[in-house]
Amino acid sequence: MYLFDLGHLPGQQSMLIFHALARMDVEALVVVSPGMPLVSVGYFQDAQAEVDLEYCHEASLPVMRREIGGGATYLDGHQIFYQVILKRDNPRLPGKISEIYQRFSQPAVETYGDFGIETHFRPVNDIVTADGRKIAGEGGADIGPCMVFVGGILMDFDYRAMSKVLRVPDEKFRDKVFKSMEENLTTMRRELGQAPPRYDVKSILIEKFQDLLGPLEPAHINREIVKKMGQLERQFTSPEFLYKKTPKVVQGVKIREGVELLYGLHKAPGGLIRTVQEVENEQIQDLGISGDFTFYPKLELGHLEVELKGSARRPKDIRPRIEGFYQRRQVQSPGVETEDLMKALEVFEE
Amino acid sequence: MAKVGKYDLPDDLHHHKGHMWARLEGDILVVGLNDFAQQLAGEVSFVELPMEGDEVKQDEVVGTIETGKWVQKVCAPVAGAITEVNTELEDEATLINTDPYGDGWIFKMTISDKSEIGQLMQGEAAVEWLKKEIAEHEPK
């Protein structure tokens, strides 16, 4: 099995490399960082619906769809990717996807541990610190004759840049994404006060992977691999592939496992209702309601938001809270009924 | 219905090594993912279906499923043309988990070369093959 210790690779090559090696049936560990920032879109995402492509174009940020699931991500040189490519029948590869994640997360968990950051694997595919903040996200795919597992050590993270590349309904929501990411996502720099040298981190990471995978033979990108990456780059950046429509419906932004920001829009007879919710394990943690409908007295809208905080996102929990609120507070909202508010909150009957 | 370990393996189906099952209904083959594969994959969140009318080769990747950020391939058990896809899966992908041999079917296809059906496994051969797959891939 080979080790491709590649430092920083230009353009989209830091992602193209594992797609190429898997297709070429090459078992390897790749450790690499992007030389320049880029945006990576999940395989099942609709790039036009999820990413602000105009902003990316203006900011000269390339956008590529990867053959790995998950959401849109901002990638830059402060992240060290680990990419494991194994033949499907490799005995080191557990059959169950959940076990692949658990087993192959261990080197990253131990690497963080060697730098004094206590972390653990949290299903389905996150590595989190002792206080529950995500410090690495992982994914995988069957590509060609191989299985590919990928993840990234976060030396540092540009939260602002990440919030800018996402397509969101308004700037208020973008700010919410930024703040929620700051709360739920951490990095080595934040945990330690400063990021350790890249060389030290990747050396330990490789050592930990060798404990798991066995001896790794150093290798370099040859002409054949370059050719394959070139072919894939043309395919992955083609409009047909990048902008293909997918079944995934955009409802918000997943911050980490169990935490997401949802936005809702509903045109009620009384006007347009917008909602932004921070949801943790299907419970509303924070909520903003706005729009052009009449709500009298106007200040009561803030009280309705408070009333719904802490509620489970189920009709049987939400409906009595809204109805009780209307009865107690004597609020009037012509053309906006309980059902309209529920639709704006994206809470539907089973 | 045969049971191999904790996995269902219906006797009347043809089985492909890519963990696809195939049921012959007249001249049409109904295809889905087997119980073993869906249990190992976990909860299916998205399905990318083939296009109706697509001409496909045996073993060709015709679609994908996503489970927990993992993207897996769906392949054709024989050569032919896709005649129908299960659009219910676009709204309820977990049908593959809850009813892999029923409502969780993925696509229907014609068969170009009927001899390819004979290459698929059935009955005892399928049971023996799945036992080997379990020994190799099931979590210890």
| Tokens (6 digits) for A329 | 């507070």
The pLDDT assigned to A250 comes to: 58
How far is Cα B17 from Cα B1, in angstroms, rounded to an integer? 19
User: Cα separation of A109 and A105, whole Å?
Assistant: 6
Of residues B46, B72, B139, nearest to A248 (C-beta): B46
Report CB contact under 8 Å: A247, B139: no
Q: Supply φ then ψ for residue A11, to 5 degrees.
A: 50, -130
The CATH architecture to which A258-344 belongs is 2-Layer Sandwich (3.30)
Contact assignment for A69 to B137 by CB distance below 8 Å = no
User: Residue B95: what pLDDT?
Assistant: 97
**For testing the chain A interface, which of B45, B51, B71, B131 should be mutated: the one with the most A CBs within 10 Å?**
B71
Task: Tell the residue number behind the tokens 């060609």, with chain if given.
Answer: A144
Helix/strand/coil for B81: strand
**Sheet containing strand B80-85, strands side by side:** B14-16, B20-25, B28-33, B107-109, B80-85, B55-56
The pLDDT score that the predictor gives to residue A204 is 98
- Contact (Cβ atoms closer than 8 angstroms) between residue A317 and residue A311: yes
DSSP state at residue B121 = B
Torsion of CA A95, A101, A103, A105, to 10 degrees: 160
Q: How far is B91 from chain A (nearest CA, A)?
A: 8
For residue B74, what is the domain's CATH number? 2.40.50.100
DSSP state of B1: -
Predicted confidence at residue A248, as pLDDT, reads 60
Residue A207 has pLDDT above 90, yes or no: yes
Residue B17 φ then ψ, to 5°: -65, -20
ipTM reported for the complex, 2 dp: 0.79
pLDDT higher than threshold 90 for residue A272: no
Tell me which of A15 and B139 has the higher pLDDT.
Answer: A15
CA A120 → CA A135, B87, B94, distances in Å?
A: 10, 38, 28
**How far is the alpha carbon of B55 from chain A, nearest alpha carbon, in Å?**
19
User: Which A residues 36-55 touch B at CB under 8 Å?
Assistant: 42-44
Dist CA A152 CA A155 (whole Å): 9
| Residue B115 belongs to domain spanning | 2-137
Q: Which residues of A touch B90 (CB under 8 A)?
A: 247
Of B46, B70, B138, the CB nearest to A141: B70
The first and second tokens of residue A76, run together, are 């830059």
- Over residues A221-241, the pLDDT tens digits come to 999 999 999 999 999 888 888
Gap between the Cα atoms of A300 and A330, Å rounded: 10
Whether residue B72 and residue A44 make contact (CB cut-off 8 A), yes or no, is no
Q: Per CB distance under 8 Å, which residues of B are interface residues toward A?
A: 40-42, 45-48, 64, 66-73, 90, 136-139
Range list of H helices, chain A = 13-23, 47-50, 53-58, 97-114, 159-165, 171-184, 188-192, 198-213, 223-236, 239-242, 300-308, 315-329, 338-344
Nearest-by-Cβ selection for A68 from B42, B71, B90 = B71
What percentage of chain A exceeds 70 in pLDDT?
Answer: 98
Strand, helix or coil for residue A152: strand
Tokens 């006060």, located at residue: A193
Query: Would you state the structure tokens that stand for residue A281, as one six-digit string?
Result: 């394990």
| Interatomic CA distance for residues A243 and B2, integer angstroms | 44
Residues of chain B with pLDDT under 70: 139-140
Rounded CA separation A181/A186 (Å): 8
Q: Quickly tell me which residue has 């840049």 as its tokens.
A: A161
Q: Say if A107 is an interface residue toward chain B (CB within 8 Å).
A: no
User: Is the pLDDT score of A249 beyond 70?
Assistant: no
Residue A274 CA to residue A293 CA, distance in Å, equals 10
User: What is the nearest CA distance from A47 to chain B, expressed in angstroms?
Assistant: 15
Three-state DSSP at B80 gives strand
Contact B69 A94 (CB under 8 A): no
Q: What residue has token string 């968990």?
A: A109
User: How confident is the model over A303-323, as a mean pLDDT?
Assistant: 92
In this complex, how many residue pairs, one in chain A and one in chain B, have their CB atoms less than 8 Å apart?
73
State yes or no: pLDDT of A247 exceeds 70.
no
Contact B68 A69 (CB under 8 A): yes
Q: Do A142 and B72 touch (CB under 8 A)?
A: yes
Please report, in angstroms and rounded to a whole number, the separation of the first and last CA atoms in chain B.
25
Q: Is A67 on the interface with B (CB under 8 A)?
A: yes
Report the residue of chain B nearest A69, measured CA to CA.
Answer: B69
pLDDT at B112 (0 to 100): 96
Residue of A nearest to B88 (CA): A247
Across A124-128, A298-302, B136-140, which has the greatest mean pLDDT? Answer: A124-128
Beta-strand relationship, B7-9 and B20-25: unpaired
> What is the Cα–Cα distance from B72 to B63, expressed in whole angstroms?
9
Strand runs (DSSP E) across chain B, as ranges?
Answer: 2-4, 7-9, 14-16, 20-25, 28-33, 46-48, 55-56, 61-67, 70-75, 80-85, 107-109
Within 8 A of B136 by CB-CB distance, chain A residues are 89, 91, 95
Tell the residue number behind the tokens 């009955």, with chain if given: B123
Higher pLDDT, A245 or B63: B63
Contacts of A142 in chain B (CB under 8 A): 71-73
Query: How many CA atoms, within 13 angstroms, populate the side-chain half-sphere of residue A10?
Result: 2
Q: Does residue A297 have a cis bond before it (omega within 30 degrees)? A: yes
Q: Which residues of A touch B135 (CB under 8 A)?
A: none
For chain A, the structural domain boundaries read 2-242, 258-344
Q: Which alpha helices (DSSP H) does B1-140 contain, by range?
A: 35-41, 88-91, 95-98, 115-118, 123-137
User: Number of folded domains in chain B?
Assistant: 1
Distances (CA, A) of A86 to A29, A321, B18, B107, B139: 9, 52, 17, 29, 17
Q: Given a cut of 80, is residue A350 above it in pLDDT? A: no
Hey, is the C-beta of A142 within 8 angstroms of any chain B C-beta?
yes
Strand-pair category, A79-87 with A146-154? antiparallel
Instruction: Say which CATH topology domain A2-242 has.
Output: BirA Bifunctional Protein; domain 2 (3.30.930)
* Range A83-100 burial, b when 16+ CB lie within 10 A, else e: bbbbbeeeeebbbbbbbb
pLDDT digits (tens, 9 = 90+) for A38-83: 999 998 888 888 899 999 999 999 999 999 988 899 999 999 999 9
| Residue among A124, A141, A247 minimizing CB distance to B47 | A247
**Of A144, A5, A41, whose CA–CA distance to A85 is shortest?**
A144
| B89 → chain A, closest CA residue | A247
The residue among A142, A246, A254, A348 with the most chain B CBs within 10 A of its CB, best to mutate, is: A142
Q: Do residue B90 and residue A95 have CB atoms under 8 angstroms apart?
A: no
Q: What DSSP string describes A324-342?
A: HHHHHHT-B-TT--HHHHH
Average pLDDT over chain A reads 92
- Determine, for residues A246 and B42 on separate chains, whether the beta-carbon distance falls below 8 Å: no
Cα–Cα distances in Å, from A229 out to A1, A12, B62? Answer: 20, 9, 23
Q: Do A44 and B90 touch (CB under 8 A)?
A: no
Are A50 and A41 spatial neighbours (Cβ–Cβ below 8 Å)?
yes
pTM: predicted TM-score of the whole model, two decimal places? 0.82
